Every structure is written in C-alpha cells, then in structure tokens.
Amino acid sequence: MSIAPRLLQWSAAAAALVMTVSLLKLGETSLAVGLIPSPWDKLAHAGTFGAIAFLLWLGCGRRALVACATAAFALACYDEWRQLMLPGREADIQDLIANAIGILAAAWVARQLTPKEFL
C-alpha cells in the first residue's frame, strides 16, 4: 500500500476517534442541552453518526463495512442510554432512529464506492 492510501486510512480513523471522544465528552456538558432545536437535531444525529460510520469504514478497510456500521450503531445506542443519566438531556427513540438512518446512508454510500472485488 502506498503512502497516500495509508495516510487516508489513518486520518479517517483519527477523525472517527476525535468525533467519538468529542461526542462523549461534550455530551456531558450543559453546552449539549438544547444545542440544536427540533426537528433539525435529527439531521445532526444522522449526519454525526453517518460520518462516524463512514470514517470508521475508511479507517478500518473496505471489507469491514458491516462491522463499522455495527460499531457506529452500538455507539449511538450507548449515547442515547447515557443521556438517561445526564441532567437536562433525554434519551429519545426518534434520535436513535435518526442515528440509524445516518449510519445506513453512510453504509449505502460506502457500498457504492467499494469495488466488487472487495465484497
């Protein structure tokens, strides 16, 4: 593997890690309470978790699409569960559905980008 693809892979993995840590740390602060008004928050959920899934896929390799989508959904479930215990935050099944839609959209885009020999 040449340097450019490896750099893309490491950069994507690092970006997924930064997004995940930011989501978990900033989600615990009062900044996260009411940050994006409804219904726009659903778009933010879909975009955030879709981006995490896609970056994980780029970082882990093209054969790991299902594992990356599953990991992103597990993170989404954890984040919603964790909000049950955070003051001012609330867990919402509609947020989880928006997360899943974003992850599925990212998986669909990744599938379109994946050459057939990787499947």
Cα separation, 49 vs 38, in Å, equals: 17
Query: What's the pLDDT tens digit per position in 34-74?
Result: 778 888 989 999 999 999 999 999 999 878 999 999 999 99
Considering the entire predicted model, what is its pTM?
0.88
| Predicted local confidence at residue 91, as pLDDT | 82
Residue with structure tokens 């989600």?
A: 27
Reported as a pLDDT band with limits 50, 70 and 90, residue 116 is low
Q: Break the chain into its structural domains and give their ranges.
A: 38-119
